Structure 1
Amino acid sequence: MKRSTINAILRAADAFIRECGFHLPPFAYWTPEEWRARGPECAEIATNRLGWDITDFGIGDFAHTGLTLFTLRNGHPREPVSKPYAEKILIVEEGQITPLHFHWRKTEDIINRSGGVLAVQLYASTSDERLDETRPITISLDGMQRTVAAGSVITLQPGESVTLPPRLYHAFWGEKGRVLVGEVSSINDDATDNRFLRPIGRFPDIDEDEPPLYLLCTDYERFFSVQQNNG
């Protein structure tokens, strides 16, 4: 992805989040220069990859296969005394797919916070991590149990949510407009806890055609070092 494209996505995402009455923390708007001046007090943000996360999953077609995220809080899988939970805000465009994947460890609630309708397709997984195309799935929708057929697409209106346990394949996309989605989960680890049905990249390759507007969570190591800023 071109950095100029990412910057445009960031501007649009921030405007939509504000339109929905949601507010991001101050570090969402720190410039690269401000990051370079920060010290060890910000280590949690960088280490736990809080902040902006924009991906085209390495496919190169963000409009149709992509996702915009902002991680608000997160623990660290190798620090048992850290926060045992995570929270994100996602922006899902109409017709924009996050491909089928599951998490080996993470349990998450996916919540339609505002905007259009969120469509979620569900499959159980087999012991060898393929789609189980025959087994029905029992899920929790806002605390109410519901059993659906393999491959079913459930729709979440604003205010509705679904709980996704580990090893449950899911894909999602927006319908009837852009959707502001909340995610509340156990610790999020995008480095080791994503199993995509078809091999794709979790983070994009970036063509630096202009300076970053705001840093992505994968940019921190280039602009911020606890050791360096701690002397």
Structure 2
Amino acid sequence: MKRSRVNAIMAEADEMIRSHGFVLPPFAYWSPDEMKQRVAGTRIKASRMGWDITDYGKGRYDEMGLFLFTLRNGELSDLTAGRGMCYAEKLLISKKDQISPMHTHVIKAEDIINRGGAGLAIKLCGAHADGTCDETAGVTVLCDGVPREVAAGDTIVLSPGESVTLLPGQYHEFWGDGGAVLIGEVSTVNDDVTDNVFRDPIGRFAEIEEDEAPTHLLVSDYDTLLK
């Protein structure tokens, strides 16, 4: 993805988030220089909090892509200990028919919440004993605490205010149904580097072509630009 496209997506996403009554935290608006000066002593870099825009390495963002912003993220050591900051929270935006491809997580359990906009379509299936995707297996999920049986490969559509709880081994792909949707994610500690298991071989982060200066850093910039 070109950096100019990333910058434009950030601006569009911020506008949509504000239109639904949410405001991103102050560090979201730090310039790259401010981030370099102010990140020391914070949890931002270690927890990979911030802007995350991906085309899954395929270069077709409008067809296969996702906007994310990690608002807060705990520590795996707390999760392992069963106490402390064991949780994470994100905001996501999925555009009309923009696929986030079929995947699950090894550790993370998550509530996916339609925070506003269009419907949120989620296709579901189970996993084999070895953790790979089983497209013949259905799943039972909780929708706002109510169990719901979903046949293999079926799609549920969440209206604004509705949510689904997804556990490790429950494969899912999702997209905006009829328009763009603002999505909330509340989960256990999040590790996007190691905890995503995709059905098909695919990249998690976009490769960036630097055609202009970044407005804000992506979490995928931190390892190279924040020393």
TM bin, normalised by shorter chain, reads over 0.9
AA of the residue aligned to 2:15:
A
In structure 2, what is the Cα distance between the partners aligned to 1:202 and 1:133? 21
Deviates more, 1:97-106 or 1:131-140: 131-140
In structure 2, what is the Cα distance between the partners aligned to 1:28 and 1:106? 24
Deviation readout 1:165-218 (Å, 9 max, x if unpaired): 001100000012110000000000111111000010000111111110111111
**Alignment TM-score, normalising by the size of structure 1:** 0.93
State whether residues 38 and 224 of structure 1, in contact with CA within 8 Å, keep that contact through their aligned partners in structure 2.
no
In structure 2, what is the Cα distance between the partners aligned to 1:18 and 1:164? 27
Could you tell me which runs of 5 or more consecutive residues in structure 1 were left unpaired when the two chains were aligned: 226-231
Structure 1 counterpart of 2:137: 135
In structure 1, what is the Cα distance between the partners aligned to 2:178 and 2:170? 26
In structure 1, what is the Cα distance between the partners aligned to 2:77 and 2:222? 19
Q: Provide the alpha-carbon RMSD of the alignment.
A: 1.3
In structure 1, what is the Cα distance between the partners aligned to 2:105 and 2:133? 14
Shift in Å at residue 78 of structure 1? Answer: 4.2
Deviation readout 1:58-106 (Å, 9 max, x if unpaired): 0110000000000000012245565100000000100100000000111
In structure 2, what is the Cα distance between the partners aligned to 1:194 and 1:127? 17
Deviation readout 1:97-118 (Å, 9 max, x if unpaired): 0000000111000000000000
AA of the residue aligned to 2:87:
Y
Structure 1 counterpart of 2:71: 72
State whether residues 39 and 45 of structure 2, in contact with CA within 8 Å, keep that contact through their aligned partners in structure 1.
no
Closer, same or farther: CA 36–167 of 1 in aligned 2, 3 Å: same
Structure 1 runs, 4 residues or longer, greater than 6 Å off: none
Structure 2 counterpart of 1:89: 91
AA of the residue aligned to 2:67:
T
Shift in Å at residue 136 of structure 1? Answer: 2.7
1:143-158 equivalences in 2 (<5 Å): 143-158=145-160
Structure 1 counterpart of 2:35: 35
SS of equivalent residue, structure 2 residue 219: coil
